[in-house]
Amino acid sequence: MRKTIFILSLIFISMISNAQIKKGNPTQLKNFNNSTTYFVKDDRYPMYNEAIIKYAQDFWKITPFKIVYRNDIDTLILSKTNSFIIPSEVTIVLEGKKQNYIYINTLLGGKPKLNGLPDIGSFPLADIEDDEESYNFKVPLFLQLIQYHIATSINNPEIDYFELIKLYNKNKKKLEQMELWLLETDLDEEINSIDKVKKTYSNNVKVVTKEEMAKAIIEKKQGIAVVHNVYPKNYSDGNECWKMIISTSDGEILYLLNRTINKSNNPKINNKDLKRFN
C-alpha cells in the first residue's frame, strides 16, 4: 500500500511525508527543551488564533513561548534555539484517493526553509471540511497532548513509531478508573444512544455535548477521557481515519488508532471500537 502526504499551507508550499507521528531524536528533543516556542497564527483559522492567544499561557508549560504571525518567522526559523507550533493543511494520497486534514505541527528551527524543519510531533486536529467551530474547542487539549508526546519521546529515546503506538495504547487500562466522554456526532448508527454504548463498553461512559466537553478541557477536569475522531466527511473505502482517546487533565494519550476505511472499519466510533476501548 503506497501512501503519500502533501502538506500545503501559507507556510508549507509542499512537503512529502508519511502518516506516522513524528518522534524527535535525543539531540532534537534536547534542542526543543532549550528552545523558545513560537505559536504561529494563521489567517485561515481565526478561531484557532483566538484560542492560542487565550489559552497558551495556562496550557503551555514545557518551554517559554511567543505568539507571532507567519511573516514574522522567516529569520526565526534559522535558529536551532527556536521551535514552532503551527497549523497546516495535509493532503493524504492513498492509492489514488485524496483526503485533507488540518494538522497541528511541532517543528524545530535551524534550516533556511520551513519545509526542511524537523517535525517532532504532528497530530490531526480535523478534516478540512469540518467547521472550525466544531473542533476549535480542542485546541487547549492539543497543547497538552503535544507536551505529553514530547515528554514521552524524551523518556523513551530509543523506541520507534510502532513501539510508541504500543506504549500509548497500553494506557487504555487507565480507562477503568476514568469516565469516557463521547460526542453524539462521533457515534455510528449502531450505537447512537447511551444505552447502546453501555451494552458494549463496560467502564463508565457518557455521551456529552460539545459545550460540556469544552468545559472539561478548559477546567482540566480529572478522571475524564474524551474521544477525538477525525475522518473525511465525504469518505470512501481507502481513505483514512484517526481515533484517539485523550485525558482532559493532562493530555495523556490513552489510545491511538490510524486505520484505512473499509466495510469492516467504519470511520465513526462503533461497536468494534468500544470493544477495543475496554
**Nearest by Cα to 102 from 115, 87, 92, 112:** 87
Q: What is the per-residue pLDDT for 35?
A: 98
Which DSSP string do the residues of 126-139 spell out, in sequence order?
A: EETTS-HHHHGGGH
- Same domain flag for 14 and 146: yes
Q: What is the per-residue pLDDT for 22?
A: 85
- Same domain flag for 56 and 180: no
- Same domain flag for 151 and 69: yes
Domain boundary among 134, 158, 182: 158
pTM above 0.85, yes or no: yes
- Same domain flag for 146 and 19: yes
> How far apart are the C-alpha atoms of 111 and 253, rounded to whole Å?
30
> How far apart are the C-alpha atoms of 89 and 82, rounded to whole Å?
22
Determine the 3-state secondary structure of 178 from DSSP.
coil
Q: Which stretches of the chain drop beneath a pLDDT of 50?
A: 1-2, 4-17
Domain boundary among 106, 126, 158: 158
- Grid cell of 196 as nine digits: 447502546
- Same domain flag for 57 and 187: no
- Same domain flag for 21 and 57: yes
Q: What is the per-residue pLDDT for 156?
A: 94
Determine the 3-state secondary structure of 83 from DSSP.
strand
- Same domain flag for 177 and 264: yes
Identify any residues that bridge with 39 across adjacent strands, giving them in sequence order: 67, 85
Q: What is the per-residue pLDDT for 19?
A: 62
Q: What is the per-residue pLDDT for 17?
A: 43
Q: What total of structural domains would you count in the chain?
A: 2
Q: How many CB atoms lie within 10 A of CB 176?
A: 10
Q: Give Cα 248 distance to the centre of its chain.
A: 13
Q: What is the per-residue pLDDT for 80?
A: 94
- Same domain flag for 103 and 10: yes
Residue 235: domain span: 159-278
- Grid cell of 169 as nine digits: 495504547
Are the C-beta atoms of 85 and 146 separated by less than 8 Å? yes
Q: What is the per-residue pLDDT for 237?
A: 63
- Same domain flag for 192 and 64: no
- Same domain flag for 39 and 72: yes
- Same domain flag for 164 and 144: no
Q: What is the per-residue pLDDT for 236?
A: 66
- Same domain flag for 34 and 99: yes
